[in-house]
């Protein structure tokens, strides 16, 4: 029996909400609170009569700590699931600290205004010290560790698919298959087709910022940064087929590099079609991916936010998207002195997801683990004072829950490795 406050009501949140409502023995009550309350009310109306979970809704601006505190104090949840945007991570963590309530999210903190001089000074120092230039990193949230310990509350960071499931796969591989893992290749393949010339599968602003940034990987104790999309490989994905994939910086590399003893290399690859890449390059060349405000006809606009308004809403891609995703990790290492390789992955079918929850597989593969992370915190299995990444807990209950809640996984021994 628990009461969960869910912040955000976009693509990922809508799946997480429905999964909580399927799991009403654990989530007896939920509140959906977001910037646009009408979306929360629509979600509640869709679910009423189909679930035993009691649903309430509220309007909240999650950029404002005081508003969040007032909402948490009035609803008294056992935990807060942040499925808004990475921009709100710190304000929601501040409110959880003030109210002594557990916190779960799916993406690490990113600054909305990357021109802010205070943020930029810290960012540039970090770029020099750590050697990667992504706008997002864990330092901001790891800095809450002592305060969460002292308050006796848990923050579970990155409980989506990647980060999230890929990090739990790593903990599972280490627990059951290896004495030491030496390399991890995280492969994120979307073999889906939505029929548009160009659209992003989740929040366009977050997605485009991620893929237009330099790539980087972890090797021999340091970051190696490379030009965007400059490392390309081809892989034959089970149930999807041959795809081109490109090396990206990705947030779980940072935490896995700290949490996997003896790790030598961690890389992340994502598949992209040529049309997506051509559109993105063109948008970038003309300045449409800019995050700094510009003046247009007497008012300030942020180019990437304007672009977001033009692109299809990812939440509407569900009915159009056909095909499958395959996301997983290839691990190499040693067990009992013998070298071995395994591949753990999940295949998810866009249309099956749409039939079940009205969303495509990208939202589904993130929303299900968000619910599972929240479940393990509220049922006590993963409750421990402090700030943690998912790979720091026992992976077994999470892996069981993935099979139970719609993301079954496969362990393949001796897979083809990536060059």
Distance of alpha carbon 130 from alpha carbon 137, whole angstroms: 10
Return the number of the residue (251 or 349) whose C-beta is nearest ligand NDP.
251
Query: What sign does the dihedral 240-202-315-366 (CA atoms) show?
Result: positive
What's the angle, vertex CA 280, arms to CA 203 and CA 120, rounded to 5? Answer: 65
Helix (H, G, I), strand (E, B) or coil at 114: coil
Return the number of the residue (178 or 268) whose C-beta is nearest ligand NDP.
268
Return the number of the residue (151 or 325) whose C-beta is nearest ligand NDP.
325
Of 13, 212, 164, residue with least CA distance to 4: 13
The token pair at 374 is 């929240």
Which residues, in sequence order, are CB contacts of 236 under 8 Å at separation 6+? 242, 416
The least CB distance from residue 211 to ligand NDP, in Å, is 12
Whats the size of the chain, residue-wise? 419
Return the number of the residue (305 or 351) whose C-beta is nearest ligand NDP.
305
Residue 412, beta-bridge partner list = 343
Distance of alpha carbon 325 from alpha carbon 327, whole angstroms: 6
The least CB distance from residue 279 to ligand NDP, in Å, is 19
Please give the residue whose beta carbon sits closest to ligand NDP in the complex: 10
CA distances 64 to 87, 143, 208, 288, Å, are 11, 20, 26, 28
Around 411, how many Cα atoms within 13 Å sit in the side-chain half-sphere? 13
The least CB distance from residue 298 to ligand NDP, in Å, is 25
Residues at the site binding ligand NDP, with contacts judged by CB under 6 A:
8-13, 34-36, 39, 60-63, 83-86, 88, 106-107, 160-164, 202-203, 206, 314-315, 366
The least CB distance from residue 384 to ligand NDP, in Å, is 21
The least CB distance from residue 113 to ligand NDP, in Å, is 13
The least CB distance from residue 248 to ligand NDP, in Å, is 13
Distance of alpha carbon 5 from alpha carbon 242, whole angstroms: 41
The least CB distance from residue 14 to ligand NDP, in Å, is 8
Return the number of the residue (13 or 30) whose C-beta is nearest ligand NDP.
13
Return the number of the residue (178 or 392) whose C-beta is nearest ligand NDP.
392
Distance of alpha carbon 359 from alpha carbon 316, whole angstroms: 8
Maximum alpha-carbon separation in the chain? 68
The least CB distance from residue 143 to ligand NDP, in Å, is 19
Return the number of the residue (23 or 363) whose C-beta is nearest ligand NDP.
363
Of 271, 270, 273, residue with least CA distance to 250: 270
Return the number of the residue (151 or 205) whose C-beta is nearest ligand NDP.
205
The least CB distance from residue 419 to ligand NDP, in Å, is 25
> Peptide bond preceding 163: is omega within 30 degrees of 0, i.e. cis?
yes
Return the number of the residue (86 or 386) whose C-beta is nearest ligand NDP.
86
Question: Which letter does DSSP use for residue 117 in this model?
Answer: H
């Amino acid at each position: 029996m628990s009461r969960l406050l869910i912040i955000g009501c976009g693509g990922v949140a809508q799946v997480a909400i429905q999964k909580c409502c399927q799991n009403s023995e654990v989530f007896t009550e939920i509140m959906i609170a977001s910037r646009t309350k009408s979306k929360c009310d629509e979600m509640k109306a869709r679910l009423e009569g189909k679930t035993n979970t009691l649903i309430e809704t509220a309007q909240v601006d999650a950029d404002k700590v005081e508003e969040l505190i007032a909402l948490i104090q009035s609803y008294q949840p056992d935990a807060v699931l942040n499925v808004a945007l990475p921009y709100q991570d710190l304000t929601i963590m501040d409110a959880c600290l003030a109210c002594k309530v557990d916190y779960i999210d799916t993406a690490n903190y990113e600054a909305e205004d990357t021109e802010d001089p205070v943020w930029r000074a810290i960012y540039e120092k970090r770029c020099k010290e750590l050697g990667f230039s992504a706008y997002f990193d864990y330092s901001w949230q790891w800095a809450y560790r002592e305060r969460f310990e002292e308050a006796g509350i848990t923050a579970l960071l990155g409980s989506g698919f990647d980060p999230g499931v890929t990090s739990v796969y790593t903990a599972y591989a280490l627990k059951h298959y290896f004495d030491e893992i030496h390399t991890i290749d995280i492969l994120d393949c979307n073999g889906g087709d939505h029929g548009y010339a160009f659209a992003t599968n989740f929040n366009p602003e977050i997605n485009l910022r991620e893929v237009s940034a330099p790539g980087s990987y972890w090797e021999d104790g340091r970051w190696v940064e490379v030009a965007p999309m400059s490392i390309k490989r081809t892989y034959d994905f089970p149930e999807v087929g041959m795809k081109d994939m490109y090396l990206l910086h990705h947030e779980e590399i940072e935490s896995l590099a700290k949490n996997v003893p003896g790790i030598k290399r961690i890389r992340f690859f994502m598949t992209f079609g040529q049309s997506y890449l051509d559109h993105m390059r063109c948008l970038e060349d003309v300045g449409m991916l800019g995050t700094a405000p510009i003046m247009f006809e007497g008012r300030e606009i942020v180019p990437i936010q304007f672009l977001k308004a033009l692109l299809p809403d990812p939440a509407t891609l569900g009915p159009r998207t056909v095909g499958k995703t395959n996301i997983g990790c290839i691990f190499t290492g040693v067990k009992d002195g013998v070298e071995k390789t395994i591949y753990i992955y999940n295949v998810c079918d866009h249309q099956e997801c749409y039939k079940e929850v009205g969303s495509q597989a990208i939202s589904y593969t993130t929303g299900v683990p968000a619910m599972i992370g929240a479940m393990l915190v509220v049922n006590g299995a993963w409750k421990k004072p402090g700030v943690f990444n998912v790979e720091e807990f026992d992976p077994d209950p999470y892996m069981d829950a993935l099979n139970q809640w719609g993301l079954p996984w496969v362990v393949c021994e001796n897979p083809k490795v990536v060059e």
